[in-house]
Structure 1
């Protein structure tokens, strides 16, 4: 294909030639990134399933376990921005591979935890190792997709979160129930081992397979590389690229960080406590809990995809995001009102997961619409690291509340309130940050 055979599209233009090029990009990149995020999310939330056995074996209180689960995000927070800046400078291939190999080894090493201190230490190191992975991928997608196409690509990547729940729930339940005693190890020890080592293998594949930039993609023709480069350049012309210090003082970035904190509080509240909530509703077997936990995530995939498509079609992100957050809050409140009714609890948790998951691909359309270059690397990492502090606070606070009240109800009320606050705050994000031009 020669350069002359491709029309000169404006950024975000949709025509058959451009569609074919971006479809080719999608088939090359998204399946691998999707698999990487599945193992990333399994390594992050399998601690929620391990709790079903690990807590009793090691005699941890809910507060101790919640603190250990959440301290991951302290390491994550401290190293997130530096990690993403390094990725922007040295390239995604080698840095994402490094991230995945180190965190996979640490995740597998969690099987040797024997005390609260060792639990805290390895969870902190795991967060430090994984820092930069998620915002690095969000940044990486801006190298390949203009804004009008990025929402759908982001939603396909983020679909790994609910798919991790769909696949990981039954798989984790099977490991806990079926592997206990093999080689003298408990089921929860096998859980960390069998869900940690595949990450190392995928890290090696990333090193071999991923291209840093469009110009490095020999699987694209020169004309296809030029088309994508023009689209990205046209979008970049409308973005700001201040110094990193300027990003740290940008009010819109901090407002988005607050919104993201609220949204991820809901996500991690669901992720870490979903198995325990289902168990509290009367389901006892680990495999049954795993199978039921797949239901909310399945519907979450569907809601996320269609919300992202709608937001891309209308190039509107604030109201789409706010709507998802409010739906998530309603679902959490419904699950609290179930009072041990498994059907009503599952309906509420499913609605909550649909609402919460649909906010994320829409949300990331906002900061990537006005930040570019190193500013995007720092801004995306700042928003993600601050937001993910909720991964520390939400499990820990719910653990404290459960220890004090013997119920997760008040904790879920707290998460619902945070989602509503996030829905209100996102409406104050400037329209210029949320409406990229076609």
Structure 2
């Protein structure tokens, strides 16, 4: 590590502009394919919310059965999250990311052949097992390539795949449902098949296209590799001087667990909206296609807010209060949506909640990535994501339970609004290292 730091110091003293050219080249090389990969990751995870518009009636699923099926995915996800991320750190991101994508694509397409609650639960559980490790693996992968100073905007750009999956995927799902009866298949079956296959294709592309580390990148010049590896080594040394965690320490750390609880509160609202929004919108008398377009609006605005807020955080060199403010606004939007009463008011409130929720989402991962390095980062990031991912069960299940009892899914959003408030409180109580969050030059 010391040799890389010395080479970095010599290089930066004579060629400051190499930073911009290196970061630009890496961004154009990696970010587009990672956005597309995450787009299909989220789409294959939540397209069940659109399939439910007709699948629930075809298979006689109650709201509670649907909620269990939507949420059980996250139990499988939780079980393999840490082992999967440790395997990625050991065997390399390229092969492991490809393996994850190909397997989840096959299982997602297999959702077309569920016949009742049992097969629905089993397939969704297997999908969670297959996808485990993808998101924290990509977050870890980005720390191999981008200095801390750039991570808010880079991670926000990658996470843009999530709102895009709703903006593009919502109308797409609505169109695919119109294929009902084509070649003897239901519309929801075409939805799963059509949206599962691209994940397999992208997994194969990732295997051929991605590189594990900067040292493996033939498309970087020797000078660019030296600068980047030195900069990253310098940052790792700075972080480890302050707080160096072993893998075991990271998995037991109160700070890491607290960040997992923050992530749980952040995601609960987003997942509660994402899994139930199509049914909330459809309840106002819209067609499947209209439902797809209207349901895309909160996520379109959410994507814009995430990019803007991430860039602002990097520019202002401030993380904590950007995250806290976004969480507070998200809680307010969710609470307001519970009192909507009309499509316009409900959607305006959910747009605000989604904008703030995605803004916090894009920034959140700068906090743990500034705290952890090496194998501790692989395990710690996975643990945080594992804890947070349980919100994917808790959020949809809570809304489903309330809808089953009251006939209204919207009322459940009021309960969800408390969780971002608690997340904001935890963030303010945690100690933060501003130097580690932005790196040292």
Q: TM-score interval w.r.t. the shorter chain?
A: over 0.9
In 2, distance between residues paired with 1:119 and 1:9? 56
8 Å CA contact 2:309–2:359 kept in 1: the answer is yes
2:181 maps to what in 1?
181
* CA-CA distance at 1:349 after TM superposition: 1.1
2:310 maps to what in 1?
308
Check if 1:396 corresponds to 2:401. Answer: no
2:48 maps to what in 1?
47
Pick the aligned partner of 1:252 from 230, 250, 255: 255
2:291 maps to what in 1?
289
2:3 maps to what in 1?
none
Structure 1, 90-99 or 234-243: larger mean CA deviation:
234-243
8 Å CA contact 1:318–1:429 kept in 2: the answer is no
1:328 maps to what in 2?
330
* CA-CA distance at 1:238 after TM superposition: 2.1
* CA-CA distance at 1:284 after TM superposition: 2.1
Aligned CA distance change for structure 1 residues 423 and 162 (closer, same or farther; 3 Å): same
Unaligned runs of 5+ in 1: none
Superposed, which structure 2 residues align to 1:59-138 within 5 Å?
59-138=60-139
Count of matched residue pairs = 430
1:30 maps to what in 2?
31
* CA-CA distance at 1:397 after TM superposition: 1.5
* CA-CA distance at 1:410 after TM superposition: 2.9
1:273 maps to what in 2?
276
8 Å CA contact 2:7–2:230 kept in 1: the answer is no
Report the TM-score, using the length of structure 2 for normalisation: 0.95
* CA-CA distance at 1:362 after TM superposition: 0.9
2:167 maps to what in 1?
166
In 2, distance between residues paired with 1:273 and 1:401? 12
* CA-CA distance at 1:354 after TM superposition: 0.1
2:246 maps to what in 1?
243
Cα RMSD of the aligned pairs, angstroms, is 1.8
8 Å CA contact 2:330–2:357 kept in 1: the answer is yes
Unaligned runs of 5+ in 2: 1-5
* CA-CA distance at 1:37 after TM superposition: 0.3
In 2, distance between residues paired with 1:332 and 1:258? 19
8 Å CA contact 2:329–2:356 kept in 1: the answer is yes
Aligned CA distance change for structure 1 residues 246 and 278 (closer, same or farther; 3 Å): same
2:215 maps to what in 1?
215
In 2, distance between residues paired with 1:355 and 1:15? 36
8 Å CA contact 1:100–1:200 kept in 2: the answer is yes
